[in-house]
Structure 1
Amino acid sequence: MGFDSAWTDSAKAPGATSVIRIDDRGRCTFVPPSLVSFDAALAVIQTEASFSALRIVALDQPTIVPNLTSLRPVDRVAPSLISWLGGGVQPANRSKIGMFDDAAPVWRFKERLEATEDPEASRSASAGLFLMEVFPALALPSLGPAFCGRLLGPRYNPARRKTFKLAGWQAVIEVVRHLARTEAVDGLGEWADALAAVSIPKKADQDQLDAVLCALIGLHWQTAPREASIMIGDRMFGYMIAPASADVGARLKSAADKAGVSIDVENLGYSKRL
């Protein structure tokens, strides 16, 4: 399940959820995205319990933010790739009111969700509810190799009128189309075709597209070989999960080494249920 939360809980700017169900035979079925608040996202996640004993929520928002100011360790690594692609990363710290302060909706969401935040364990689990942090912009250069190059990241946020490129928007949709074919996700290709036909995309369209990307990241984490993904950081100070091609993985590992941030390393059995 992908959840693009939009970070704050605003009725005028909701997030979006998307679901990819996998049956006992390994067949994948796509559930089209919907715009949701944090509470509505909880309802979607709870409903999926009737379809599967194992649920993995891939959330496009920092899930562990212990630092009062400045950056999390993972936020020192991800920008090395994102800035090379021509984008930016919003750092997470507790001083950001409405996003990560003690009263921020994400903490209430996590408390009510009662998920296990252990991405590695989710790969081998046959049941349970798991949560992990993902970041579509970090995943796109691996999911769509054409984006992997200096300043080649797609500009597909319609809310940023000065930088938005329709060609970038369509290119991201084409990545989704490609994954619909290669991963054999029933219904996803048709949804992508319908989205591509929207002549003037809106921010809500992008939120739903990002929710679908989050779900695809979760699918990749669950079904692809472990070496095809990367975990930057850890579950004590914050982390991100992303698909990682050879080029992307090498760039992120180099940045992590320079910053002293762990890659694909667990905290000696540290596990936290939130």
Structure 2
Amino acid sequence: MKFIGIDLGWQSGKSGLCCLQYSNKKLKILDLDCILEIEDILNWIDNLTPLSTPALIAIDAPTIIPNQTGTRLPDKLTHKYFGRYHAGCYPANLNRPFAQRTVKFGISLEAKNFIHAPTIETQQPGRFQIEVFPHPAIVNLFQLERILKYKKGRLADRKSELLKLHQYILNILPTLEPALVISDNFLDMEKINSMATLKTTEDKLDSLICAYIGAYWWYWGREKNLVLGDSNTGYIIVPNRVSRY
């Protein structure tokens, strides 16, 4: 089973892409990349998951948007449950400039037989897609009291927060189930010396988190995950808060 994480560029810019392989009860990184064009992203997916290859794709983007205006139910629920961590998500509706792009991407995946999976039979092969949101997942997986603020601000401040995320990934994801097997040098964080290199690294780390959420959902289902919304309202999968003890 493969798990693909996509930090989708909602309007423009590159998308972070990660592919994890699950075998022998471990997850390993197969690929970590940033790609600009949607067509190239879809080709990348095809190369990794040809024909009927079992895979789950976890996307940080609203791929189901039923409402013309206002805010989707899952977006409201992130604010309800994670607002105190600063982890509420951006509201989506069909009038937003990104809506056509993100919804079309989900439809393109459906055409490749990746079905939406707001419910799932755990640890069974198939081709699935889900919507995820890294911020609340990071808060819960790493038992934080607020999000890591690497999205806005000065380069030095953002790099400092991104280094924390990198370290949490190295220290904690290998201890969870399913465990991620990862080397200390899987990304050279010392190469972050500009906003451009920071953004590329940020997108890659976010895509890795997306892929891990996908694996966690497939492995545990509702036993250890929250489902905010459903296939009619749109939905976001978030891991439950992990206890380190």
Amino acid in structure 2 at the alignment position of 1:185: L
- TM-score between the two structures when normalised by the length of structure 2: 0.83
Separation in 1, partners of 2:47, 2:139: 32
Change over 3 Å in CA distance of 1:240–1:187 after alignment to 2: same
Amino acid in structure 2 at the alignment position of 1:6: G
Match of 1:168 among 161, 169, 174: 161
Change over 3 Å in CA distance of 1:241–1:35 after alignment to 2: same
- TM-score between the two structures when normalised by the length of structure 1: 0.75
Which secondary structure does the structure 2 equivalent of 1:67 belong to? Answer: coil
Contact 2:63-2:104 at 8 Å conserved across structures? no
The structure that has the greater radius of gyration is 1
Aligned match of 1:42 = 42
1:217-256 equivalences in 2 (<5 Å): 217-224=213-220, 226-245=222-241
Amino acid in structure 1 at the alignment position of 2:230: D
* Residue 124 of structure 1, CA deviation: 4.7
Separation in 2, partners of 1:223, 1:87: 24
Q: Deviations over 1:184-215 (max 9, x none)?
A: 433454315x23x3343521211111101101
Change over 3 Å in CA distance of 1:122–1:73 after alignment to 2: same
Aligned match of 2:180 = 185
Match of 1:202 among 177, 198, 202: 198
Which secondary structure does the structure 2 equivalent of 1:120 belong to? Answer: coil
1:30 equivalent to 2:29? Answer: yes
Change over 3 Å in CA distance of 1:87–1:53 after alignment to 2: closer
Contact 1:176-1:189 at 8 Å conserved across structures? no
Q: Percent identity?
A: 23
**Higher normalized strand content (fraction of residues):** 2
1:153 equivalent to 2:147? Answer: yes
For structure 2, which runs of at least 5 residues remain unmatched after alignment? none
Contact 1:122-1:130 at 8 Å conserved across structures? no
Change over 3 Å in CA distance of 1:224–1:39 after alignment to 2: same
Separation in 2, partners of 1:178, 1:225: 24
